[in-house]
Amino acid sequence: MQRRKIGLVLLVTTLGLIGFLTVQAQRKYNTRKVQNPAGADQVQTVASVDYKISGPYSHKNLSIFLIHGEDRAKGRLPLTLQEAMEQKKVIVHETENVNSLAIENVSQEEVFVQSGDIVKGGKQDRVLSLDLIVPPKSGRLPIDSFCVEQGRWSKRGEETSTAFSSSDKMLNTKDLKIAAKSKKSQREVWNNVAQYQMKISEGVLLQNSPAPPVPPANRAAGGPIERTVRSASIAGTGSLQLTLENKELQETLSDYVKNLAPIIEGKNDVIGYAFTINGQVNSGDIYSSHGLFKKLWPKLLESSASEALSEFEKEKKFEPATISAVKSFLNEAETGEGETKQVTKEITMIKRETEKNLFFETRDHKQSGEWMHRNYISK
């Protein structure tokens, strides 16, 4: 009888272990078949990589967690869109179609476009909604876009209306990223630009010295007039780009940037970061190489800081997030139901969605289908 009981316990334990390992394998390697450029089926595998995470590195209500990992780019380091436009190696052409522009690489170097890059100029400032590697001497390639400026459809100042002049800013709230990358809704992009402009105006005022006295009549109305007057100094326009260029906003953001920009110095294995605002996990970006992440870091940090500033509350108390919470966020986002989009012959985008998170992965078939950028967003 005793032997029979022991045998039964061992059987149950073995079956339980098999079940656990099966669930873990399914969680760690969530796969689906997609069509590769050559027309043959291949399996795209998203693995829950065990990244090393350090941090938090915090300033006010923003905490950064650095993600350390393997350099997968094998020495390949494309120009960023910002670099390429500054060096006149890429032209982003106005097409007079709000949701599609044309990009042309006139150089001998590859150029990395990141979803969320804002291009300034044309007939309206736009945001590019997909990752792309633009090959050397590419000719004109279409690229999806959304308008981040209302009320203009003509030349602005000394700019040209047929092309765009720069790309030194990017989408800077998770709601804007979700609207452009997941919901693909122009109306929601506009709505979230307006919401951000109002919130950032109040965030700047909270962090800076007190504003000039507001007439009692305005205060008695419950605040809407006061907020509108104050917001005009920061927003002042329908353009997200021009709001982000605002001198007062830039001066306020410099406090975040000065304190957090140096945290990557001397850390040559950092390939990405995740961040929290008011103790809540927000988003993360991981790249195929330290070199690419390092070039994008100033733009990424400013974007994160501007969202933190828009959510700043002077007396707000919150529990700081932990490394464990960030790891759970990254791993959980990778397990969602997947869909794929063939962006170009070489570039595939994989989107995964769970109840709480979104995950986007860009793969490059010129690099044997290796991933080059992973973006994580908490809903």
CA–centroid distance for 313 within its chain: 23
Return the exposure string of 143-152: e unless at least 16 CB atoms fall within 10 Å of the residue's CB, then b: bbbbbbbeeb
When pLDDT is averaged across residues 171-194 and rounded to a whole number, the result is 96
Q: Which of 60-74, 85-99, 217-231 bottoms out in mean pLDDT, i.e. has the lowest?
A: 217-231
Count of beta carbons in the 10 Å neighbourhood of residue 341: 14
Total tally of structural domains belonging to the chain: 1
Q: How far, in Å, CA of 178 to CA of 246, rounded?
A: 24
pLDDT, position 235? 62
Give me the domain span that covers residue 305: 47-378
Q: Is residue 272 part of a domain?
A: yes
Q: Is residue 62 part of a domain?
A: yes
Q: Which residue has the tokens 């941090």?
A: 55
Q: Is residue 37 part of a domain?
A: no
Are 103 and 131 within 8 A, CB to CB? no
Q: How many helices (H) and strands (E) does the chain have?
A: 10, 19
Q: Is residue 8 part of a domain?
A: no
Q: How far, in Å, CA of 146 to CA of 149, rounded?
A: 9
Distances (CA, A) of 325 to 59, 276, 320, 378: 19, 10, 10, 12
Q: Which residue blocks in 174-239 are alpha helix, DSSP H?
A: 174-177, 186-207, 216-220, 224-234
pLDDT, position 123? 97
Rounded mean pLDDT of the chain?
84
Q: Is residue 110 part of a domain?
A: yes
Tens digit of pLDDT for each residue in 31-59?
Answer: 343 334 433 333 344 454 568 999 999 99
> Could you tell me the pLDDT band of residue 302, with boundaries at 50, 70 and 90?
very high
Q: Which of 38-52, 155-169, 174-188, 311-325 bottoms out in mean pLDDT, i.e. has the lowest?
A: 38-52
Of 294, 304, 351, the C-alpha closest to 130 is: 351
Q: Is residue 133 part of a domain?
A: yes
pLDDT, position 196? 96
When pLDDT is averaged across residues 99-103 and rounded to a whole number, the result is 97
Q: Is residue 158 part of a domain?
A: yes
Q: Is residue 40 part of a domain?
A: no
Q: How far, in Å, CA of 176 to CA of 192, rounded?
A: 6
